[in-house]
Amino acid sequence: MMQKQLENIFRGKKILVTGGTGCIGSEIVRSVLKYKPEVVRIFSNDENATFQMINETDDTEVKMMHEIPNRRFLIGDVRDKERVMLAMEDIDIVYHAAALKHVPLCEYNPFEAIKTNVLGTRNIIEAALASGVDRVISISTDKAVNPANTMGATKLLAEKLIIDANEGKGVKGTLFSSVRFGNVSFSRGSVIPLFEEQIRQKKMITITNPDMTRFMMSLSNTIELVFQATLLAKGGEIFVLKMPVIKLDDLIDVIIEEYAQKYNYKKGNIEKKIIGLRPGEKMYEELMTETETAFAFETETMLIIPPQLEMPSIHYTVSDYPNAHPCTSHGYSSRDIAPIPKEEIKRLLFS
């Protein structure tokens, strides 16, 4: 059923993906292309990643750029409003995945995080309204919940801007919603590629804290949530996927087991070194605050948070979302959920 709905919403449409060469953005591009849109514009400030994506090949080793004529690669930055306006001309759907995501880098460069994550999101909103875009889905993070670092604080502000845009747009019809999720396995911000590289170089694995817990999801789960939000959004909601929790020490054991053999290295020879929390880092992550749970809805796989702002033009009821019911949780923290065992971590990462 969902496949047919996605085909109906994407076929013949013009789609813009900001941060389109990143882990999440590029997978959105690949997934959307299956549904025959008129064009997908891939907006990125990463010249090298853009070049690599242009030269990607499919399973038949045919270069995607030459054989898929409905892709357009645009070099630009969401900080540059004029460039964003040009990129958004005549667009139907926007996926806003561009962001500064690395916690320590944002701690040491806070205003740069503000420029991209906050002011960049404002540029997306204003350009979408000026261009008459149908809907904007913004990619957020669990670090926006009770933020303890600059990155989380800027993403929280971005969420607030996206919510408010639904009321501040006046009579314009653009819908703005967000999706919020935790760590995506093997994404650029994930520690997994770092651990693999440390094993490959026969170095010690650096651990911030072995008892740290995180929400973890696969890339395919991420895209499924993004597309569900695209279908269900009325405007102003935050969509959250229910995710398993992993313990850092268990994750490292799985990584060692998987990659030690690959690089001809004995598991017992790989040392671990505890280095402590990095600047701005939390021991536990949250997907939803206790306040949000008071008026949120949930399904078997998803949490839906309507805006707390009063919006006379939009009414949110549980019946708007299939198979939903009022949320029964009191907050949603990795501290309160039992971590999955190592075998499940292995399936999550390598299946």
Q: Which of 222, 228, 218 is nearest to 299 (CA)?
A: 228
* Cα–Cα separations (whole angstroms), residue 62 to 20, 28, 66: 21, 20, 8
Catalytic residue among 13, 14, 101, 143: 143
Beta bridge partners of 40: 15, 71
What's the burial of 321, exposed, middle or buried (CB within 10 Å: 0-12/13-18/19+)? buried
Q: Which of 133, 32, 28 is nearest to 85 (CA)?
A: 133
* Cα–Cα separations (whole angstroms), residue 151 to 155, 281, 283, 307: 6, 10, 16, 22
Question: How far is residue 16's CA from residue 96's CA, in Å, rounded to a whole number?
Answer: 8
300 C-beta neighbours (distance < 10 Å), count: 8
Question: How far is residue 233's CA from residue 13's CA, in Å, rounded to a whole number?
Answer: 17
**Dihedral sign for Cα atoms in the order 26, 240, 300, 2:** negative
DSSP string across 72-141: EEEE--TT-HHHHHHHTTT-SEEEE------HHHHHHSHHHHIIIIIIHHHHHHHHHHHHT-SEEEEEEE
Question: How far is residue 220's CA from residue 243's CA, in Å, rounded to a whole number?
Answer: 13
- Judge whether 262 counts as a catalytic residue: no
Q: Which residues are catalytic?
A: 143
